[in-house]
Amino acid sequence: LSDRERVLLTPGPLSTSRAVREAMLRDLGSRDVEFLAITARVRERLLALAGAEASHACVPLQGSGTFAVEAAIGTLVPADGQLLVASNGAYGRRMAAIAGRLGRPCSLLELPETSPVDPEAVARALAGPRPPSHLAVVHCETSTGIRNPLEAVAAVAARARVPLLVDAMSTFGALPVDARRTPFTALVASANKCLQGVPGVGFALVERTALAAARGRAPSLALDLFDQHEGFERTGQWRFTPPTHVVAALARALDELEAEGGVAARGRRYAESCRVLVAGMRKLGFETLLPDALQAPIIVTFLAPADPRFVFDAFYDGLRRRGFVIYPGKLSETPSFRIGCIGDVSSSDLERAVAAVAETLGELGVSSPGTS
């Protein structure tokens, strides 16, 4: 099999570099001094990426990103608190579902999937007679690809003195965030999106003061960020079996992020890939769900063509045979599919992907991919 048999144009797991995969070829013990040093350094570097060294702690957690989101909500929102989720998609709704499962009172400030979260509406909700104890927002709703105005929402939350929890799962490492200018209480992300590591670990950057106040609060033993953090601080070790290979791969991925020129350079590469993808697909006749001004350079939602010969599974299969893996849509109403721009992927990969789309349409007999 070739090294890059298929390009993953998905929101994670995504295409990783050979060096990142090779970083996993060693077995390191959980108490190995080298592994503990790798863990400590990764924690420092993740904080530094957000300008949060002075104010926050980085708490990595085994599992996918959702585990870290659940841990952050359970650890930071008290049982007598009230979480408000400003939501415009599936990942916002998921945060509310998590709060519900954990028995944390929660309400949704829900917007249509094609409208960015509105900071003024959030400000009104925070100024109501019974303001929430915590606010949560998703930076890029990967379900559509829309970019939410994190900086403006954070400013509103700070003005109202309401702690903000950010799901930056699909943006961290590609869209800049700086805790000194964009105040947040917790920001959650994972290894296998814009950091270009492999799946298996998430992390939360949590304000030290908020973490210190959270002893004994989490309703879960494994998903307790206070205990997890205390473990790292006391012994440098993970509380439970660490994902050693995944952490080694993340360390290598962080080297590559730095070598690329950091978050700004990575964001530029993704933006160029996104531009090439959207231009090519529009030329074929596809329509994007979002106008360009609302689109994050992470993943693009295309509307499914009206032609009944367009069947997603056959389209997916045709692209897979040509070396590209795409993603189904995640809209509540409109049929759609998504193509990602993130990962160890270049704009020329996206050019080839568009050519593969054209070929696959020919195979399906779809001559015009418009929606009407």
Ligand X SMILES: Cc1ncc(COP(=O)(O)O)c(C=O)c1O
- Binding region for ligand X (CB under 6 A): 11-12, 64-66, 69, 91, 138, 142, 167, 169-170, 190
Comparing CB distances to ligand X, the nearer of 45 and 139 is 139
C-alpha dist (Å) from residue 55 to 47, 180, 183, 357: 9, 9, 10, 47
- Going by their DSSP bridges, the two strands 164-167 and 186-190 should be labelled as parallel
Comparing CB distances to ligand X, the nearer of 65 and 318 is 65
Q: Smallest distance, Å, CB 190 to ligand X?
A: 5
Q: Smallest distance, Å, CB 132 to ligand X?
A: 20
Comparing CB distances to ligand X, the nearer of 76 and 366 is 76
- Joined tokens for residue 51: 């300008």
Q: Smallest distance, Å, CB 368 to ligand X?
A: 31
Q: Smallest distance, Å, CB 168 to ligand X?
A: 8
Q: Smallest distance, Å, CB 259 to ligand X?
A: 25
| Neighbouring-strand partners of residue 62 | 201
| Neighbouring-strand partners of residue 189 | 203
Comparing CB distances to ligand X, the nearer of 274 and 361 is 274
Comparing CB distances to ligand X, the nearer of 89 and 305 is 89
Q: Smallest distance, Å, CB 347 to ligand X?
A: 22
Q: Please report, in angstroms and rounded to a whole number, the separation of the first and last CA atoms in the chain.
A: 41
Comparing CB distances to ligand X, the nearer of 341 and 361 is 341
Comparing CB distances to ligand X, the nearer of 88 and 288 is 88
Rounded CA separation 13/346 (Å): 16
Q: Smallest distance, Å, CB 115 to ligand X?
A: 17
